[in-house]
Structure 1
Amino acid sequence: MHMTPTSPTPSGLAPADPDLRHHGDAEVRGAGAHLTDLAVNVRAGTPPEWLRERIAGSLASLAAYPDGRAARRAVAERHGLPEERVLLTAGAAEAFVLLARALPVRRPVVVHPQFTEPEAALRDAGHRVGRVVLSAEDGFRLDPRAVPADADLVVVGNPTNPTSVLHPARDLARLARPGRYLVVDEAFVDAVPGERESLAARTDLPGLVVLRSLTKTWGLAGLRVGYVLAAPDTVAALERAQPLWPVSSPALAAAEACSAPPALAEAARAAHRTAAERAYLVARLAEFGEVTVHGPAEGPFVLIRTAGADRVRTRLRGLGFAVRRGDTFPGLGPDYLRLAVRDPATTDRFVTALGTVLAES
């Protein structure tokens, strides 16, 4: 792993940088129903009917301004935290923008490869961003000693998108210190059985900021809802940077519903199912000597490496499968692809298509 400084430019990208604004939805946008989506990490078959009904029921109140008190209380109770440690946001993406604009930091560092929006938001806010780039040889695992001691904001995903690495909570906790914000993006941790290694309930770590999203498990990408868990003074600073009424009434209804015990039990069952489906996908991919699966994977997606991945991705699209390119993530190159975990039948169809493509090489 190594440390790389990056500088903002008028376009928001350093020369020869990956496209930090490229996300998985670009692989399927406008494609219609003919593509099986393995590019976006949203759980298939969501949102469930009960959640759609709950959201629809909120539409009768659209004449009133949103009131987030019940949703905030529900999220706080879900994590065993006081309400003043919770901030509801229009998805985790808004939280990254708030952090970049509202916190008084001078030396932010982002651990890569990971979701690129945190760095993009920091650059857009005028920050010079440092990178700690993890290596495949180390299994994309973080050694806390690699983070510069003078970094006053550190961003890391857990489990990390796109590597699917779940970093031990004890290693992340070592990054916390007075005078530093430690931002842990836990957008996918509810897809991990038992939410292992989560720091969401910790209140003893100075500067800890945990981000959560309802997008992935509940299929709410179009609704935009997530939240921040942090010390009350940090929450207050971020809230001051928000516009008025930033989260819509339907999104607030979803946040409240998804924080209730029945929803948590459903999410827990889904996490175990995803783990089994991921194991099946990894086993099927092991049939190809040309494919390396990075693991152990713990998220609802896997990172693979294969020669000529861009050609493979294009050919797979022709055969009806959209997969996520990996070269837009700092630290990865043109031979990487990310695959969302799906049910075994979908995996079997995908593996057949992949076998066809690899046989053409």
Structure 2
Amino acid sequence: MPAPLTSDHGTRSAADGFDLRHHGDAEVLGADAALTDLAVNVREGTPPAWLKARIAASLDGLAGYPDGRAARLAVADRHGLPVERVLLTAGAAEAFVLLARALPVRRPLVVHPQFTEPEAALRDAGHRVERLVLEERDGFRLRAERVPEDADLVVVGNPTNPTSVLHPAAELAALARPGRTLVVDEAFMDAVPGERESLAGRTDLPGLVVLRSLTKTWGLAGLRIGYVLGAPETIAALERAQPLWPVSTPALTAAEACCAEPALAEAARAAGTIADDRAHLVARLAEFERIRVCGPAAGPFLLIRLEGADLVRERLRGHGFAVRRGDTFPGLGPEWLRLAVRDPATTDRFIAALEKVLDTV
């Protein structure tokens, strides 16, 4: 039997026992000792020196109000779109709040397991949220026919956090229709070689909204910069819901810089490296019969399942590693962990620590 749709009105921080506001940074903030961070999906060694220099140079303009025109044009050019189809935001997370507050929504549906902020934002705006919970036995893959016809807002990640599943573009496109807003969160798409299965440049799908983040690949989580791609009328509605000057001058500078051709080439190289490093991590995890890796994975992280994962996570901290718990994602439980992909040397150190922990659990 397919997993049922569920509906709950919940509180700001939790719903059905899931802490929707728990994120990977909680695993490392306030730690008593320095931990190797496998909990947060930000690329290592970022931001690069050239980007830090560009951002630092922008500080001379802080006396003036932010002017987003150049950055907006850069994003539009990067995706081959007119500027009226682009909205710059303080990270992709802000876009979820704008969507929840600005659009007239009757039956919102969030596809889980996935990043929990979309549901949290919808709940905060007073919406009753339905969940379509994908199943492990199906590889956490979405089938368009499972989405109710009258769902007028559908939110799905691609590749999905935390499962690392990359849904076919055709499957997602099949969800688009007049009267529905289809939100595809592509925060990690630039970590996929060739950005295959992206819908970012599409203008032929009614109601399509694509979200992008620049914080993951470029190490800008503390700067807060992302953007929304959608129909001009949708972009205008979201923009009206934004406060004045929502994106800072340094963040606008970063957006413009990260959309330039040299940056896109660097991101493409990084995506290839991530794919190689992920393959190494998968191979090393295969050494443990107790561990099941969700795959094939496409993002810069892996979802794994093992008995006693909650205790394993705690004991890994004693060996210097922070990993992301999975039980805050609807559709998952305490037997799941998410691991960020790191370089082979870090992975090998982690595997050695994991082997020691598993011997005690």
Scaled by the length of structure 1, what TM-score is found? Answer: 0.98
Distance 1:125 1:222 in 2: 25
Q: State the partner residue of 2:311.
A: 311
Distance in 1 between residues matched to 2:178 and 2:331, nearest whole Å:
29
- Superposed CA offset, 1:128-178 (max 9, x none): 000000000000000111111110000000000000000000000000000
In the alignment, the residues of structure 2 paired with residue 4 and residue 176 of structure 1 have an alpha-carbon distance, to the nearest angstrom, of: 19
Aligned ranges 1:163-182 → 2 under 5 Å? 163-182=163-182
The list of structure 1 runs, each at least 4 consecutive aligned residues, that deviate by more than 6 angstroms after superposition, is none
Q: In the alignment, what sits opposite 2:62?
A: 62
Q: What is the RMSD computed on CA atoms of the aligned residues?
A: 0.9
User: What is residue 119 of structure 1 aligned with on the other side?
Assistant: 119
The aligned residue for residue 7 of structure 1 is 8
Residue ranges of structure 1 left out of the alignment (5+ in a row) = none
Q: Is the 8 A contact 2:13 2:21 kept in 1?
A: no
Q: Where does residue 268 of structure 2 map in the other structure?
A: 268
Structure 2 counterparts to residues 77-88 of structure 1, below 5 A: 77-88=77-88
Residue deviations 1:266-287, cap 9 Å, x none?
0000000000000000000000
Amino acid at match of 2:252: L
Q: Which amino acid aligns with 2:250?
A: P
Q: CA deviation at 1:230?
A: 0.2
Could you tell me which residue of structure 2 aligns to residue 94 of structure 1? 94
1:34 Cα deviation after fit: 1.8
Cα contact 1:19–1:328 (8 A) shared by 2: yes
Q: Is residue 2:336 matched to residue 1:328?
A: no
**Contact persistence 1:7–1:123 (CA under 8 A):** no
Q: What displacement does 1:30 show?
A: 1.9
Aligned equivalent of 1:351 = 351
Secondary structure of the corresponding residue to residue 254 of structure 2: helix
Amino acid at match of 2:9: P
State how far apart, in whole Å, the 2-side matches of 1:222 and 1:192 are: 23
CA distance in 1, matches of 2:178, 2:32: 50
**Secondary structure at 1:88 match in 2:** strand
- In 1, are the aligned partners of 2:87 and 2:239 still within 8 Å (CA)? yes
Unaligned runs of 5+ in 2: none
Are positions 1:38 and 2:59 aligned together?
A: no
Aligned to 2:137: 137
Q: CA deviation at 1:33?
A: 6.2
Q: Are the counterparts in 2 of residues 8 and 124 from structure 1 also a CA contact under 8 Å?
A: no
Percent identity, aligned pairs only, is: 77
Distance 2:146 2:297 in 1: 22
CA shift at 1:360, angstroms?
1.2
Kept in 2, the 8 Å contact 1:3–1:146? The answer is no
Change (3 A) 1:82 1:346: same
8 Å contact 1:12–1:124 — kept in the other structure? no
Count of matched residue pairs:
360
Whether the 8 Å contact between 1:12 and 1:123 is mirrored in structure 2 is: no
TM-superposed deviation, 1:13: 3.4
CA drift of 1:205 comes to 0.1
C-alpha distance in structure 1 between counterparts of 2:315 and 2:22, whole Å:
20
String of CA shifts for 1:281-339, please: whole Å, max 9, x gaps.
Answer: 00000000010001000000000000010000000011000000000000001100000
1:164-243 equivalence runs, <5 A: 164-243=164-243
- Post-superposition shift, 1:4? 2.7
Partner of 1:29: 29
Matches of 1:205 and 1:347, distance apart in 2: 41
- Residues 211, 226 of structure 1: 8 Å contact kept: yes
CA distance in 2 between partners of 1:3 and 1:265 (Å):
43
Amino acid at match of 2:136: A
Q: Secondary structure at the match of 1:131?
A: strand
Q: For residues 353 and 79 of structure 1, what CA distance do their matches in structure 2 show?
A: 42
SS of equivalent to 2:73 = helix
- Summarize deviations over 1:246-282 as a string: whole Å, max 9, x none: 0000000000000000000000000000000000000
In the alignment, is residue 108 of structure 1 matched against residue 108 of structure 2? yes
Correspondence 1:286 to 2:289: no
User: Match of 2:240, as an amino acid?
Assistant: R
Q: Structure 2 length as normaliser, TM-score?
A: 0.98
After TM superposition, give the deviation of residue 12 of structure 1 in Å. Answer: 5.3
CA distance in 2, matches of 1:119, 1:163: 17
